[in-house]
Amino acid sequence: MTRPVLQAAVVGATGYVGLELTRLLLRHPRLKPPLLLTRDSAGNGGGQLADLFPHLSGNGTQSLEPFSWSKLHARGVDLLFLATPHEVARAWVPEAVGRGLRVIDLSAAWRLRSPDYRAPYQFTDADPAAAEAVSERAVYGLPELVRDCLPDAQLVANPGCYPTSVILALAPLVRAGLIDVERGVVCDAKSGVSGAGKQPTPQTHFVEVADNFRAYSVFTHRHRGEILEQLGLSPAQLVFTTHLLPIPRGILSTIYLYLRRPLTPGDIEQCLGEFYAGSPFVRVFSPPRLPEIQFSLGTNYCDLGLALDADGRRLVLVSCLDNLLKGAAGQAVQNMNLLYGWDEQEGLG
């Protein structure tokens, strides 16, 4: 039996992503019960997580405690997970790094290097030079692409849910030089409502979402820069349009592109399969079968499928994942496993 060795802390366990993360950490064989912290550092708040989420009852007493740096030190915290708003992580991570903590940040605070792509978040850093130094050290934690970099990382910027689905689908073809990028790539992505977070908005009320389907943030979605930066595409080479599905969770991205030369479905399947041969959480479906949201729900898998037109040049890729797991909390645990040299799949079965 594996002996628990790591003390982790989670800030933001009461959100959708934070709850999924806490659930995974509670059953991870190498972790002590995680310290669950609220963002309120004034000593208010608290209570039991099971009071908010009764389905966690029976996992032992999981108290919510106010955040403080001294508490992290006193409890021997090795790893800090931040499931907080972007601006909170942007403010806290430099101090966490300075205190020697390893951090996995599930917000977008440290994912982007380019100031242009970071601009939509409107970060205001108290010390811009220190923030830039931290940003330079951050590892964009898409394990399938940076697995070898993770053991030495102090700060992991956990990818966004939409970018994970799109980048994993396109990266093998981009790196192989197979896409005619000058003809453009179109990503038509759809997500369940939990992708918008727990804080309600007029657009996420039941009456607005049920029996409805709509596009949003056309040409302005903040995840677009993340996709461009990681794939090395220019803004003119990508159209990325997001849609809100009337379901709780799940993402399906349909991606349309032209190939530089005629290929067969077998060629594309081989390209994807060889690229992800050592990646246990990417499943490549053989044509004509295509992924569906229901196949990946509740798992840490990203499912990829393809359909190639008879001309051998017009390709459609379909990518599905659970936005709260492979798109967020599950990927964070996958990153943790690789940080510490554990089996990538540990705690995610």
Residues with a catalytic annotation lie at: 161
In eight-state DSSP terms, residue 248 is: S
Please work out, in degrees rounded to the nearest 5, the angle formed at the alpha carbon of residue 157 by the alpha carbons of 155 and 163.
Answer: 165
Give me the residue label for tokens 């067969």: 264
In eight-state DSSP terms, residue 11 is: E
DSSP labels, 137-152: H-EE--HHHHGGGGGG
The two beta strands, 238-244 and 185-191, are parallel
Alpha-carbon dihedral sign for residues 115, 328, 137, 88: positive
Q: Are 324 and 298 in contact (CB under 8 A)?
A: no
Please work out, in degrees rounded to the nearest 5, the angle formed at the alpha carbon of residue 163 by the alpha carbons of 161 and 165.
Answer: 75
DSSP labels, 266-285: HHHHHHHHHHTTT-TTEEEP
Per-residue b/e over 189-201, b at no fewer than 16 CB within 10 Å? Answer: bbbbbbbbeeeee
Residue 158's Cβ-count burial label (10 Å; 0-12, 13-18, 19+) is buried
Per-residue b/e over 250-285, b at no fewer than 16 CB within 10 Å? Answer: bbbbbbebbbeeebeeebbbebbeebbeebebbbbb
Q: Are 77 and 7 in contact (CB under 8 A)?
A: yes
